[in-house]
């Protein structure tokens, strides 16, 4: 299936360049100059020295905070929706189908003096133990190691065995904020008080934030809470950066989101999307044109027919909706081709799971 596009206004870029190297651990490098008695820097040179530092690593405001925040929880508690709300733009796919997030997605939000580097994770999978789910669970555990803050997301008023298993993975060394999400689904807020008290006995939470990721006011309140726990250090990214993921990666995620949204519960979540070709060239009538060839991988012939739909209508709609969103994201004219292929048992094959980009 082939989809053509029309140009749109170019948004913020999505492939940032960190302002600090990993070896720098977020701290600016020293600059040494000779001159003056006892090695002091002459007054006339201080302004130029400051300009050099700012050009190299950005503003060195002592009030700046910057740190990593992991968003964790069982499948379908609204983690990706929360990440998109915190960043202020969609960078992680959302769907009513559980387990749609497959990779660590890093979103960046700079607000005031604070820069938040959010990490969205797959929902920890406890029911099935195939190669794909083992890879996803490994991603969850890896994402929480070394972060500055953890947002443990549950649905307001509920706490299941699956929630408890995720909480048990988080350890005691990193501050944890309990996010009671989907507050808009609680009709009588007074009924939530006993549940909140009970939750305090289940884990050592430094704060509890009842909220709805759909509420802009709640999201701003959460950002203010998180900012207090970020370390004082220079920002890692430019102020306008949104994510450290490539456009190629985001293209596969957006196609996969449309796939799950338009197939509902009919299609198993083991279906995935591979980007076969991603090229960019100057357009004849626009500044930028991107050509993408993608393959939707399913496990059975029946699933392939389901994705294609009658007369190819469903596949055409998946492509059309994905193309429109990609144009808005990349500020480019997008030419998109999507194919559907059957790879029986791929989710149980460790080598194939890795070849499809999973850890």
Q: Give the Cβ contact number of residue 323 at 10 Å.
A: 25
Residue 10 domain-assigned? no
Write out the residue range of the structural domain in which residue 321 sits.
246-355
Do 110 and 214 share a domain, yes or no? yes
Express each pLDDT in 42-59 by its tens digit: 444 444 533 544 454 445
Do 252 and 212 share a domain, yes or no? no
Residue 133 domain-assigned? yes
Do 99 and 208 share a domain, yes or no? yes
* Of the residues 227, 259, 287, the one at which a domain ends: 227
Residue 275 domain-assigned? yes
Rounded Cα distance, 42 and 49, in Å: 10
Residue 9 domain-assigned? no
pLDDT tens for the 359 residues of the chain, in order: 444 333 323 344 444 444 433 333 333 333 333 333 333 334 444 445 335 444 544 455 778 999 999 998 888 888 888 988 999 877 765 555 444 444 466 789 999 999 999 987 654 544 445 454 454 545 555 567 778 999 999 999 999 998 998 888 887 788 999 999 999 998 888 889 999 999 999 999 999 999 999 999 999 999 999 999 999 999 988 888 888 778 888 898 899 889 888 887 666 566 788 899 999 888 778 888 999 999 998 888 888 999 999 999 999 999 999 999 999 888 889 999 999 998 876 555 454 445 444 44
This prediction has a pTM of 0.61
Residue 297 domain-assigned? yes
Do 286 and 203 share a domain, yes or no? no
Do 221 and 294 share a domain, yes or no? no
Do 88 and 220 share a domain, yes or no? yes
Do 197 and 295 share a domain, yes or no? no
Number of domains in the chain: 2
Residue 11 domain-assigned? no
CATH number for the domain spanning 145: value is 3.40.50.300
Do 273 and 165 share a domain, yes or no? no
Do 181 and 261 share a domain, yes or no? no
Residue 344 domain-assigned? yes
Do 107 and 134 share a domain, yes or no? yes
Do 113 and 210 share a domain, yes or no? yes
Do 198 and 75 share a domain, yes or no? yes
Residue 212 domain-assigned? yes
């Amino acid at each position: 299936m082939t989809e053509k596009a029309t140009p749109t206004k170019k948004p913020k870029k999505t492939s940032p360049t960190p302002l600090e190297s990993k070896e720098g651990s977020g701290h600016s490098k020293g600059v040494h100059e000779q001159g003056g008695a006892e090695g002091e820097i002459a007054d006339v040179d201080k302004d130029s020295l400051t300009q050099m530092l700012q050009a190299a690593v950005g503003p060195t405001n002592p009030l700046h905070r910057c740190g990593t925040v992991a968003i964790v929880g069982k499948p379908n508690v609204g983690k990706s929706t929360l990440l998109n709300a915190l960043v202020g733009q969609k960078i992680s796919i959302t769907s009513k189908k559980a387990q749609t997030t497959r990779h660590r997605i890093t979103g960046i939000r700079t607000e005031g003096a604070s820069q938040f580097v959010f990490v969205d994770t797959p929902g920890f999978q406890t029911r099935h133990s195939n190669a794909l789910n083992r890879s996803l669970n490994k991603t969850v555990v890896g994402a929480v190691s070394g972060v500055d803050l953890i947002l443990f997301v549950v649905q307001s008023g509920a706490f299941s065995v699956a929630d408890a298993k995720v909480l048990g993975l988080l350890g005691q060394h990193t501050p944890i904020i309990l996010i009671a999400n989907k507050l808009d689904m609680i009709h009588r807020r007074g009924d939530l008080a006993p549940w909140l008290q009970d939750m305090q006995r289940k884990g050592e939470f430094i704060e509890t934030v009842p909220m709805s990721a759909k509420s802009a006011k709640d999201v701003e309140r959460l950002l203010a809470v998180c900012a207090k726990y970020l370390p004082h250090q220079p920002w890692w990214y430019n102020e306008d950066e949104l994510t450290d993921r490539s456009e190629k990666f985001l293209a596969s995620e957006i196609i996969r989101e449309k796939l799950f949204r338009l197939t509902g519960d009919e299609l198993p979540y083991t279906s995935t999307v591979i980007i076969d070709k991603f090229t960019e060239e100057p357009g004849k009538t626009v500044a930028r044109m991107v050509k993408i060839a993608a393959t939707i991988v399913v496990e059975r012939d029946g699933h392939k027919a389901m994705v294609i739909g009658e007369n190819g209508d469903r596949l055409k709609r998946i492509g059309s909706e994905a193309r429109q969103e990609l144009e808005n994201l990349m500020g480019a004219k997008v030419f998109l081709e999507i194919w559907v292929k059957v790879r029986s048992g791929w989710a149980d094959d460790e080598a194939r799971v890795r070849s499809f980009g999973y850890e």
